[in-house]
Amino acid sequence: MRADLATFKRGVMFAILSARVQFPRVPDQCEELHKLGKEAKCLWGHKFGAYVYLEEHANQIWQETIQEYNTAKALYILTRIPGLGIVKAAFVLQMLGHDIACLDIRNIERDGRNPDAFKLKKKPDKQFRIRIAKYISETQGKAQFYWDRWCMEVAVSYGSTAEAISLDHVNAIVRKGLRGHSAAPMTTAEIPF
């Protein structure tokens, strides 16, 4: 995602498409989006606005985000995308290598957190930077913990393995449609890390 604008866009849209959707549907929605663009049925509600905004502003957001190593500032940059709140922006940063976790609904419920603690208002208010700082203080350094736990829980829910769930992310974002052509999905043995 740091090296390729198209991959960055797919990663952002993966995060956006994953909101309020059962995980196994997200990779298929990514493929639908790749094939149909703004005509894709998966672009409902705020997801359509996020897609249109990203199509117009992706290069600027990508450049600013990959050049910013301060997690709070990078998080702020990404939340300019309509519909990409703190939690999903943190997911994008996690995929970009920041050691920050995504507190999705599974993690929020498991930890007994307030589900509204990090929601954004339509326009940033004076508490916005405070919420970003609080989010970072609660999740920085915990990316692997939350990722591993989430993948294990999702795997159990859908009769899969944690490794396969993790790999579904890679295949949906990096491999499918990479630079305009499809490639065979990766296997766990092919993961370069």
Residue 119 confidence (pLDDT): 80
Separation between Cα atoms, residue 177 and residue 182, nearest integer Å: 4
3-class DSSP state of 159: coil
pTM of the model: 0.86
What is the identity of the amino acid at 137? Answer: S
Which three-class secondary structure string do you get for 55-123? HHHHHHHHHHHHHCCCHHHHHHHHCCCCCCCHHHHHHHHHHCCCCCCCCCHHHHHHHCCCCCCCCCCCC
**pLDDT single digits (tens) 39-85:** 999 999 999 999 999 999 999 999 999 999 999 999 999 999 998 99
Residues in the chain predicted with pLDDT less than 50, given as ranges, are 176-186, 188-193
Chain position carrying tokens 């974002």: 173
Please tell me the predicted confidence (pLDDT) of residue 127. 80
| pLDDT at position 125 | 65
Angle of helix 128-139 relative to helix 86-95, nearest 10 degrees?
50
